[in-house]
Chains A and B, each alone.
Chain A
């Protein structure tokens, strides 16, 4: 406790916060609280269900009556889950790396080079954003079939190795790289590929981090295309594999939730690795150069 208590005069002179301001503050906190609960609940329910016995799955209580780690033991000892996990890791990692390279290369080219048809190429790339995946799966499938890519890593990955969204994102970020940097490097004797890699790429790390998170999560959770293009259980990814837990009569929700809980770990790792770049990027953007 402080030795110096505020005097009565000081307390009297202190102005109370206006009532409307207090109400606004309470409302803001309330909205944030509801938003927070809405975010946390599915995760909490997923973990809760993963710790329940099958007969308790349909009870909505968050705390299991008889908590068990039996589901985790079952899933981790099941060889199929190991392969789905490895498949998802390979596919999400390779696709993320390819997106970071190809999207940034195309974004950089469209941003920093003047050539005939540049705008048309950019608009054409953007137009592909307007085509829904459901429309594309049939041509993708036919293509995969023709090339013999069905039920292979290549077949799962090829549609997402480069994305229009990633290209657009990187192009917009490269706009913030001053042309002087590029020209100075040109005068210093670097070729265009070296300039992209040595000068431009380090300056758009926040965008690369954001793109890495988007692409990794998108591929980690992808369901429709991996379901269509894969046939053998060993080629399934986690979302496809988990959907198969259970039988025709019943769905093993406790196992699905256990698999889902385990599968969030890599996404958390990816986010923790890249989030500091995003935060640093935001901080740097606020400083005068």
Chain B
């Protein structure tokens, strides 16, 4: 196990810089998820940590040791790939043992280690099978087994669940989290799925266009997003953003209604965006904000999502699952003041 540090890391392909000096500290045994849309640089960052991509500038440290000039095999890391990367011509056992190929461990110890890993991943009965005889989830477990068998300082996961169906993805998510609790190694996990990030991570790193937008616990990034990008990326459905004007600690919306934001202490006179998550916006709130007409309903069982046409465009709110407002009715939507977020309308940074 080891800590990991990235210092002002940049990556360029020719004249195009795709990573713009990112810095990050990952504690020993921490589970950190890099999340962001396609092209944000999360996989590039992971591949640079692995040594599969050269670093243009900056420093990568694993266990306090600079590894920039070390080969992947010398970095004491193991990686699980999106497409599993288990060798189709080898049995499960040989695939797992492959990770120990260059190890000087005695043969008996290697065998013991393989059996131990197979036991942890519940694959003892599958050791003689070929990958073509395994399901997607089992293949992914073999890939994890091959990484585990070496007991590396840092595990790197590159979107390992994106090829699995929804049910299996949920199951594997749980298994990886349990595995982390059991082995306690440092894990860097890359995904574009914010649900995966929220459910698995000790800390989430949200990236966009080669920049880190926010680093925080799942609760922090959800409840206190650093900017409008994070606010809209984390949480489903996305946060509603309404144009407004800030004066003191009061936001006046375009429709004329004013909303008090107690958390905001004496803001400047400026254009802002008022953010409110659909989960926090209800038709029966005691603090009404905006009026509109219900255009669509999405029943989710205990709750119903309602799409409401307002002077600011369509916004999404959540209503009771048993007695949701009918399509075509006018509703007054509101939210508790502590669940309102204010962002600078120009740069998108959070003000509250």
Q: How many residues of B contact A (CB 8 A)?
A: 25
Residues of B within 8 A of A90 (CB): none
* Chain A residues proximal to chain B, CB less than 8 Å: 178, 180-181, 183-190, 199, 202-203, 284, 287, 289
Pick 14 A–B contacts, CB within 8 A, sort by A.
Answer: A180-B84, A183-B85, A184-B81, A184-B146, A185-B98, A186-B52, A187-B78, A188-B98, A188-B101, A188-B102, A190-B73, A190-B101, A287-B132, A289-B88
In Å, the complex CA distance between A203 and B132 comes to 14
Closest to A288 in B: B132
Closest to A188 in B: B99
Whether A180 contacts B101 in the complex (CB less than 8 A), given A187-B50, A203-B89, comes out as no
Whether A199 contacts B87 in the complex (CB less than 8 A), given A186-B73, A187-B72, A190-B102, comes out as yes
Closest to B152 in A: A187
The answer, yes or no, to whether B118 is at the interface (CB within 8 Å) is no
- Chain B residues touching A, majority SS: loop
Contact at A188–B146, with CB atoms within 8 Å? yes
Min CB distance, A199 to chain B, in Å? 6
Contact at B79–A187, with CB atoms within 8 Å? yes
The answer, yes or no, to whether B1 is at the interface (CB within 8 Å) is no
Min CB distance, B278 to chain A, in Å? 38
- Known interface pairs A183-B50, A187-B52; 12 further A-B residue pairs with C-beta atoms within 8 A, sorted by A's residue number: A178-B85, A180-B81, A180-B84, A180-B85, A183-B72, A184-B79, A184-B81, A187-B72, A187-B77, A188-B98, A188-B150, A203-B87
Min CB distance, A202 to chain B, in Å? 4
Question: Which of A180, A181, A187, A287: most chain B Cβ within 10 A?
Answer: A187
* CB-contact partner of A202 in B50, B89, B98, B150, under 8 A: B89
Residues of B within 8 A of A287 (CB): 132
Contact at A189–B81, with CB atoms within 8 Å? no
Min CB distance, A289 to chain B, in Å? 7
* CB-contact partner of A181 in B87, B103, B150, under 8 A: B87
Residues of B within 8 A of A186 (CB): 52, 71-73
Residues of A within 8 A of B99 (CB): 188
Interface 0/1 of B109-129, CB less than 8 Å to A? 000000000000000000000
